[in-house]
Amino acid sequence: MSSPTAFDPALGPPAAQGFRMPAEWEPHEATWLTWPHDAAHWPGKFEPIPPIWARLVKELERGEDVHILIHDDATEAAATAAMDRAGVIGRRVRRHRVLNNFSWARDHGPIFVRDGRGRRLITHWRYNAWGEKYAHDLDDAIPAAVARVTGLPAVDVPMVLEGGAIDVNGCGTLLTTEACLLHPNRNPQWRRPRIEQTLRDNLGVSNILWLGEGIAGDDTNGHVDDLARFVGPRTVLAVVEEDAADENYGPLRENLGRLGRMTDQDGRPLEVIEVPLPAPVVWEGMRLPASYANFYIGNEVVLLTTFNDPNDQKAVDALQRAFPTRRVAAVDARDLIWGLGAFHCVTQQQPSERPAPTSNFKSKI
């Protein structure tokens, strides 16, 4: 599919050879998905899940290739039926038979990096299902499988990291949380300096910004993609809770205060866009991680989680201002988050070989 990247481990880690993780809004060659196949991940609510994946494929295929990991024959048949019903064209859709445990491609999928010449590399971080919470033997092997499919080389990184735990601006700044990356269920023998250096070495970042706690209902120990996301080189969309009695109010106010004191890699203050959370979404007595921050930026579309809530429109408006040349597809995610994840969690971008236009590095806010 792609020509191999010249990467020589003897010359040092990826950053030393000019590789960096692009921002999500930079041009993609493709988006990777893992088709859902285990109803136990959405107990009592699996029927509406495959149609959501089909809707995502339909929205994405207009602007980029879509690669789907398929677990088995039954999953293949279910995916075909769902995409046919959704009107997926399919000319830019590729399916690959790869065994998997879960459908959260953001976390088990590879993290792609690229250099200034368009050479690309897969970084294969360790994956332990958010602290050994679930089976992950198949998912931990997925980056190697993607490397075989794409023909891109992969470098093993001996640190547990999920893609939803980080967000980058593509210019050298990375946003993460203490609650997740410093949790003892990930890298118990590692301290902050070693974690930061590993991120710098493999993702090409120089400026690492730490938020605190995550939102209620998030079983990832506080992934940043439910809290705050870059929508420009120094512009961050952050969710806030307006009800002082809500359990999210204090942690999100603390995170907002931190963002207000943070700067980008060049020492410039961040611009922060506040978007209020929806009202609590509860299913079978369990609060779910409903957040507008779990959006995905495709080449032509921004996939936004919505919850039939008055604040949905505020999130749509904020993202449309941030990305005026992209469609904002607002898709109801109330069924999806019963599995404790949303649209950013189920997608993983593969950057294009071509460099991003200069205009992509200018905030639209």
Tens of pLDDT, residue by residue over 49-60, are: 999 999 999 999
Over pLDDT 90: what percentage of the chain?
93
- Pick the more confident residue, 7 or 88: 88
Q: Is residue 277 part of a domain?
A: yes
Q: Is residue 364 part of a domain?
A: no
Q: Is residue 178 part of a domain?
A: yes
- Average pLDDT, integer, range 36-43: 95
d(CA 135, CA 138): 8
- Average pLDDT, integer, range 227-251: 98
307 phi and psi, to 5 degrees? -140, 25
Which of 133, 132, 111, 98 has the alpha carbon at shortest distance from 22? 111
Q: Is residue 115 part of a domain?
A: yes
Which of 110, 128, 130 has the alpha carbon at shortest distance from 120? 110
Q: Is residue 5 part of a domain?
A: no
d(CA 6, CA 126): 23
- Average pLDDT, integer, range 275-295: 97
Q: What is the DSSP letter of 269?
A: B
pLDDT at 89 over 90: yes
Domain that holds residue 289: 16-354
Residue 143: alpha-carbon gap to chain centroid:
15
User: Please, which pLDDT band fits residue 354 given cuts at 50, 70 and 90?
Assistant: confident
Torsion of CA 296, 220, 181, 114, to 10 degrees: -30
Q: Is residue 321 part of a domain?
A: yes
- Average pLDDT, integer, range 205-228: 98
pTM equals: 0.95
| pLDDT at residue 12 in the model | 94
User: Please, which pLDDT band fits residue 358 given cuts at 50, 70 and 90?
Assistant: very low
pLDDT at 361 over 70: no
Q: Is residue 8 part of a domain?
A: no
Q: Count up the domains in the chain and report the number.
A: 1
Strand partners, 229: 237
User: Please, which pLDDT band fits residue 144 given cuts at 50, 70 and 90?
Assistant: very high
CA distances from 143 to 61, 87, 328 (A): 22, 30, 29
Asked if residue 60 lies in contact with residue 204, where contact means CB atoms within 8 angstroms, the answer is no
- Average pLDDT, integer, range 60-65: 98
| pLDDT at residue 112 in the model | 98
Q: Is residue 160 part of a domain?
A: yes
User: Please, which pLDDT band fits residue 7 given cuts at 50, 70 and 90?
Assistant: confident
- Average pLDDT, integer, range 90-105: 98
Check which CATH number belongs to the domain holding 333 and give it: 3.75.10.10
User: Please, which pLDDT band fits residue 204 given cuts at 50, 70 and 90?
Assistant: very high
d(CA 17, CA 6): 10
pLDDT at 4 over 80: no
d(CA 119, CA 74): 36
- Average pLDDT, integer, range 38-48: 95
Catalytic residues, by residue number, are 345
